[in-house]
């Protein structure tokens, strides 16, 4: 508004004072008028440009606002679905589980292991099954390396356990007679070390078949502390040198 008032004043001066100004005065005023016109045109262009930018900015802002609203809606829906899924999962966790007996006889039958060479199966306390393995089939005298015949026997035992007693706890016990382990004394100073080593080797062989759950298995050595016969005769010492596999009851 100020600029237009200035232009009007200049134009009036040009009309009212033509005789007093002379030629130079008219030209000077004309230049000033032209300059103001140029400034006015430039200002109008700037105003028009700013109006366009403002309109574009407002349109872009509306687009971002709409997108933000859409994303918030999608987030709310996802949270509701998550809450519903969690509620369903909690409901399932609270449902009673119908546990079916494992395949094969239950709680356990020593006859499942009948016919396996070198194995004597008996029923123990709490429905456990105790397998007594002839040590001569498993190991040579003073050795902890399983013989081929012993590996075959352990493979058949593992087949029965995996088929008829999956998930049962398993314990392998090593036993010796009361004679010190002279042949392997450098590695196994006493029968404690020897009996424990043999129990661990047998357990590892059973686990390696893939039929025995390592998470539910253990090995222990009892040396000569749990004899089943007198150590005064060869026959008695032979019975005491043994490995026992106990399949725990449920």
Please give the C-alpha separations between residue 90 and each of 87, 169, 241, in angstroms, as whole numbers: 5, 30, 53
Q: What is the pTM of this model?
A: 0.57
Query: What pLDDT score does 95 carry?
Result: 59
The least confident of 12-16, 94-98, 123-127, 173-177 is 12-16
Query: What pLDDT score does 220 carry?
Result: 97
Furthest-apart CA pair in the chain: how many Å?
156
* Mean of pLDDT values over 36-64: 72
- Give the SS3 label for residue 221: strand
Q: Could you read off the pLDDT of 202-243 as tens digits, one per residue?
A: 999 999 999 999 999 999 999 999 999 999 999 999 999 999
Q: Could you read off the pLDDT of 17-42 as tens digits, one per residue?
A: 444 445 566 677 777 777 777 777 77
Integer Cα distance of 2 and 38 in angstroms: 15
Query: What pLDDT score does 20 carry?
Result: 44
| Side-chain half-sphere CA neighbours of 58 within 13 A | 6
Query: What pLDDT score does 5 carry?
Result: 55
Are the CB atoms for 116 and 156 separated by under 8 Å? yes
Of residues 211, 225, 134, the one with CA closest to residue 166: 211
Dihedral angle computed from the Cα positions of residues 163, 166, 170 and 174, in that order, rounded to the nearest 10 degrees: 20
* Mean of pLDDT values over 7-12: 51
Beta carbons within 8 Å of 97's beta carbon, 6+ residues apart: none
């Amino acid at each position: 508004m100020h600029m237009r008032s200035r232009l009007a004043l200049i134009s009036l001066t040009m009309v009212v004072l033509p005789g007093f100004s002379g030629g130079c005065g008219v030209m000077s005023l004309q230049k000033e008028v032209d300059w103001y016109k140029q400034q006015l045109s430039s200002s109008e262009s700037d105003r028009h440009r700013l109006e366009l930018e403002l309109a574009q900015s407002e349109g872009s802002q509306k687009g971002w606002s709409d997108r933000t609203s859409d994303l918030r809606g999608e987030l709310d829906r996802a949270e509701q679905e998550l809450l519903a899924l969690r509620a369903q999962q909690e409901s399932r966790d609270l449902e009673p589980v119908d546990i079916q007996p494992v395949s094969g006889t239950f709680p356990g039958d020593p006859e499942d292991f009948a016919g396996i060479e070198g194995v004597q199966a008996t029923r123990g306390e709490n429905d456990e099954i105790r397998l007594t393995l002839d040590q001569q089939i498993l190991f040579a005298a003073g050795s902890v390396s399983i013989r081929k015949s012993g590996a075959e026997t352990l493979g058949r035992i593992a087949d029965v356990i995996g088929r008829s007693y999956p998930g049962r706890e398993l314990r392998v016990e090593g036993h010796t007679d009361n004679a010190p382990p002279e042949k392997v004394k450098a590695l196994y100073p006493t029968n404690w070390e020897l009996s424990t080593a043999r129990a661990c080797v047998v357990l590892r062989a059973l686990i390696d078949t893939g039929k025995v759950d390592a998470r539910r298995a253990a090995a222990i050595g009892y040396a000569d502390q749990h004899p089943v016969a007198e150590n005064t005769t060869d026959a008695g010492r032979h019975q005491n040198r043994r490995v026992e596999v106990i399949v725990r009851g449920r």
